A and B are shown apart, each in its own frame.
Chain A
Amino acid sequence: MGKKNYNSENQLKAWYFLLPALLAIFVFNIYPLFRAFFMSFQKGTLINPRFAGVENYQRLLSDPVFFRALKNTAFYSFTVVPIALILSLAIAWVIFEKVKYKSFFEAIFFMPYVTSTIAIGIVFRYFFNGSYGLINYLLEFFGLPRVNWLDSVSMSMPTLILFGIWTSLAFNIIILLAGFRNIEKEHYKIAKMFGANEWEIFVKITLPQLLPTLTFLLTVNLIGAFKIYTQVYALFGGQAGIAKSAMTAVFYIYDKFHVAGRPGLAMAATLVLFLLILSITFFQQLILKKVGRKR
């Protein structure tokens, strides 16, 4: 008989198996967070840092470009996310309900997601081009005035939003189609037998059962939108739009870190953005929970 300290539900050995994963989580998830936090209180270069107290934060809060970046980011997120979600819901519903060759259209709609945003951005730069772009050509064809999509301070945000909506559709549609498929067919058959029309079926049966999927998409989309960077880079050729008119939070961080060589300032901005995303997600969950309980 060996030692009698066996416990079927709690074994020390488990920690050996957990260790590699825990190590990776610590090095790649937790350490960078603290590192960024410390760096936000330092000034100077990465090699030669000095303690700076709250100087970075003071500087950040007095920089009008940072506020423009935050304003643009918020404006982008709160327009792109709802519009893209509603659009993708409509498209997914049409594909699911009305279209014959579902898998073909699914593939078509998923293509943008597997294509690099940079590549799509290059194509869209051509579409949006003021003098020879496809969009202006179409506008002119229908007798509408040309628009200076890319090189105008007032148009760079709307252009970015259009591009942002287009790039978020693919993922949303695929996830929503999976959601539609999870609803039992009998639910629709019986509802039709009871005489419900298509709108009633959509509102009373489809939508409530899609709620978990929609909540997931809303959260993921919102976080993604707040971190927008690639779309800006791709659309405006590596700039934040003309005269920094499409400056976003992450673009600001990148700019301060790599271009201006101010890592401390960049980390301070990172922390502010992190707290912002955290609180917005928190409030969003709170609201959704309330809505969910009411039903």
Chain B
Amino acid sequence: MIEVIGLQKTFDNGFEALKQVDFTIEKGELVCLLGPSGCGKSTMLNLIAGLLQPTDGDIRFKGESVIKTEPKDRNIGFVFQNYALYPHMTVLENIMFPLLVGDNKKKKGDAKAIAEKYMELTNIKELQNKKPGTLSGGQQQRVAITRALVQEPEVLLLDEPLSNLDARLRLKIREEIRRLVKDVGITTIFVTHDQEEALSISDKIILLEDGKIQQEDDPQNLYLEPENLFVAKFIGNPIINFLPIEIVDDRVKHASFDLPLTHFIEKRFKKSITNGKYYLGMRPEDILPSDSGPLKGKIESVELIGRERILHFELAGERVKSIVGVENEITEGTTVTFDLAYHKVFLFSFDGERIY
């Protein structure tokens, strides 16, 4: 449906927003462009929408290049972060607007019928005579999406669709967005910097950083099988623990421990390992209190968050976190031994490549 091939974008001031990006999106997929601010995700969206011109590379819809096509002829619906609803029009007028302008204008009656059909779908029929200024953030969001859908585009582009909403509403609206775009069957791309949002609703996540794709995968894999250190650090909350270690003659050495490499599972190695410096990446839930194990630390503080208990301790000056169940009554000041879930931890080379 959408192919992005060797896409590059360098702005007039010399900033390389996208360096070399390739990906494919299937029809009906809900894809998220995720990354920290400045990673190029909004640039990517604007290039697909036709608001920016690529420096090099191609974007194809159904096999045909669209980079020379005007935005209005690309068959896309766009929802801006601030929704861009027209303040002087009612909800109904806002939604009818796309149908009453341009070359294939509809008659007012027909436009109203189409608008009403979509308003029913998004559950905003009772708002039709209100002005946007009187609506809540979530309602405005739904109006903006409905307006983007009435021209029956093949692709829906959402720029940070949830960032203007409060936390509780976000949870509700993200479910709604997913249900809605799946009902309509429209191919959807949305941009966010919030990993939780991305993980919870997308079919596929494209994680961007520094103008390049770091990983393109289904949400769960991004967490379980990160391709590099950046992905491992970006995804997951609390953030992954990583310790600089040295591998010397089949032993894994850190200032606070020294364990044999044979503890690691052989088939999880992506390539043969040589002596040298590496990072050991461990998710907080993969560091478990145990009777015996390589890690040992004095608990400095304990955070209680609902059903979890986060233990903070230090290993030779490096801060480490472990998550345990709330029923595990470890208190501050006690010294605890931890074991590793070897089938879930990672090893990265110093330049970030995943080795294990």
Q: What residues make up the interface of A, taking CB atoms closer than 8 Å to B?
A: 184, 186-187, 189-197, 200, 204-205, 208-209, 211, 295
Contacts and interface: CB of A to CB of B under 8 A. Distances in A.
B80 A195 contact: no
B101 A195 contact: yes
B122 interface: no
Given A187-B84, A193-B76, 5 more contacts: A189-B84, A195-B72, A195-B73, A200-B101, A211-B88
B90 to A, nearest CB: 10
A195 B73 CA distance: 8
A191 to B, nearest CB: 7
A204 B78 CA distance: 19
Interface string B84-100: 10111100000001100
A-B interface, 3 closest residue pairs, ranked by CB to CB distance from nearest:
A195-B102, A186-B84, A196-B101
B51 interface: yes
A194 B77 CA distance: 8
B80 A190 contact: yes
B78 A193 contact: yes
B82 interface: yes
B84 A193 contact: no
Given A192-B71, A208-B88, A186 B101 contact: no
A277 B103 CA distance: 46
B49 interface: yes
Nearest to B83: A186
Interface residues of B, number: 21
Contacts of B82: 184, 186
B78 A197 contact: no
29 contacts: A184-B82, A186-B82, A189-B80, A189-B84, A190-B80, A190-B84, A191-B97, A191-B101, A192-B71, A193-B72, A193-B76, A194-B72, A194-B98, A194-B102, A194-B151, A195-B72, A195-B73, A195-B98, A195-B102, A196-B97, A196-B101, A200-B101, A204-B101, A208-B88, A209-B86, A209-B87, A209-B88, A211-B88, A295-B88
Contacts of A196: 97, 101-102
Contacts of A205: 86
Nearest to B51: A189
Interface string B123-154: 00000000000000000000000000001000
A186 B80 contact: yes
Contact of B78 (A184, A187, A190, A208): A190
Nearest to A189: B51
Given A208-B88, A209-B87, A209-B88, A193 B80 contact: no
Contacts of A186: 80, 82, 84
A192 B88 CA distance: 18
Taking each of B78, B88, B151, which has the highest tally of chain A beta carbons within 10 Å of its own beta carbon? B88
Contacts of B80: 186, 189-190
B71 A184 contact: no
Contacts of A295: 88
A188 to B, nearest CB: 9
A194 B49 contact: no
Contacts of B89: 208
A193 B49 contact: yes
Nearest to A209: B88
A184 B82 CA distance: 10
A195 B84 contact: no
A116 B98 CA distance: 48
B69 to A, nearest CB: 12
Nearest to B81: A186
Contacts of A189: 51, 80, 84
B220 to A, nearest CB: 34
A189 B86 CA distance: 12
Given A190-B78, A192-B72, A193-B49, A184 B84 contact: yes
A186 B83 CA distance: 8
Given A187-B84, A209-B87, A195 B103 contact: yes
Nearest to A196: B101
A215 to B, nearest CB: 13
